[in-house]
Structure 1
Amino acid sequence: MNILALSGSPRRASVNTAFLRAIAALAPPDMEVEVFDGIAQLPVFSPDLETQGRPAPVTDFADRIARCDGVIIACPEYVRGLPGGFKNGIDWLVSGEELITKPIALAHASHRGDDMLDALRLVLSTVSTRFSTELFLRIPVANVAPHDISAHLEPHRDEITAYLDTFATYCQDPAPQ
């Protein structure tokens, strides 16, 4: 099972990216979790650019999504909404096939951010037929330094493992017709 963990943060020292890396480290042996932290490398979406063929960073991003069995997203809240760079990444995928039937679940690294989560759920339910609103992992680590997040998640090992196992089962279920 290959899972792409997509960080919605453009920040190098991102709590969300560290959160996903710590989750990946707790994945069972039969699950590989690749963390994608390159959202800041994507050019600003324009349909004009799309007609000339996707730029290389976008092609790489889309290919990673196409190759995985499922996507886990962790995204920060900026001004009560989705970060522009993350929304830009989703915009690049709207006219492609990569997300439409891809199983998607959310993980959240903060005790707040419900406005962003509502917006993200709306966007994902629009672009994917396999976005799960039920699969959700929330472990507040927003005030933890990125290099300390892994140790902070250790007491949550069983919760994280159960989340990953449930997501793996969801990914293996046939897509609804």
Structure 2
Amino acid sequence: MSIPIKILAISGSTRKQSSNHLLIKALAALYKERVTIDLYEGLTELPHFNPDLDMDHRLAPAPVADFRAKIRAADAVLICTPEYAIGVPGTLKNAIDWTVSSMEFSKKPVALITAGTSGYHAHKSLLGTLLIIESRISEDMQLVIPAVKTKINNEPVITHMETLLRLEQLMTALITAVHAGEDAEGFLTPPPMNMA
């Protein structure tokens, strides 16, 4: 019997009953035979990012060290986030900032779902960040779900068939990326840096 793929899920919402949490729970139930999806619960416990607190990675604050260890131990990462004021939620961006110098996301397969009222601005911004820190993301491993509250209920069941099919495509691509390993192709490249 094969060992299930370990996926660390990170929700950009701090609300316990958010649609993003519901999406993660729905995917965990749908794919329980193939993957284990563990929701990271410590987002609000991370201190504000400060490079002065991270001069030596071995001495990082305990919540930061725990977050980094969870990413390293996972085969892949699933980020599911709303958009706040057409931007990335501050707690999520703060968490990712803590991994830039220590490079936990480098070469890690990452699926990105932005689900909210809209989501396109936050999605573009976060995708750029994830690519700059060398996450492995393909076109099929990302999805924007606008009007998400009309597409999932509190059970949680994804009630919108097109959204369900797109999520199945995303999960298949993420699982394939894990199995393919370092030799996989078709991942997006970082956007050019603006040096002006």
Give TM-score scaled by structure 1 length: 0.86
Task: From the CA coordinates, give the structure whose radius of gyration is larger.
Answer: 2
- Describe the superposition over 1:91-118 as per-residue Cα deviations: whole angstroms up to 9, x where unpaired: 1000113111111111232351101011
Distance 1:175 1:111, change over 3 A: farther
Stretches of structure 1 lacking an aligned partner (at least 5 in a row)? none
Distance 1:74 1:54, change over 3 A: same
Contact 1:6 1:74 in 2 (8 A): yes
The alpha carbon displacement at 1:71 in A equals 0.8
Stretches of structure 2 lacking an aligned partner (at least 5 in a row)? 185-196
Distance 1:100 1:119, change over 3 A: same
Distance 1:25 1:105, change over 3 A: same
Any residues of structure 2 matched to 1:17-166 within 5 Å, and which? 17-51=21-55, 53-110=59-116, 112-140=118-146, 142-143=148-149, 148=154, 150-153=156-159, 155=161, 159-166=166-173
What is the RMSD of the two structures over their aligned residues, measured on CA atoms? 2.5
> What is the identity, as a one-letter code, of the residue corresponding to 1:99?
F
C-alpha separation in 1, matches of 2:102 and 2:38: 21
- Tell me the residue number matched to 1:175: 182
Give TM-score scaled by structure 2 length: 0.78
Contact 1:26 1:161 in 2 (8 A): no
The answer to whether structure 1 residue 5 and structure 2 residue 9 are counterparts is yes
Count, aligned residues: 177
C-alpha separation in 1, matches of 2:68 and 2:118: 29
SS state of the match for residue 32, structure 1?
strand
Where relative contact order (Cα < 8 A, 6+ residues apart) is larger, the structure is: 1
Distance 1:147 1:42, change over 3 A: farther
- Tell me the residue number matched to 2:19: 15
Distance 1:14 1:38, change over 3 A: farther
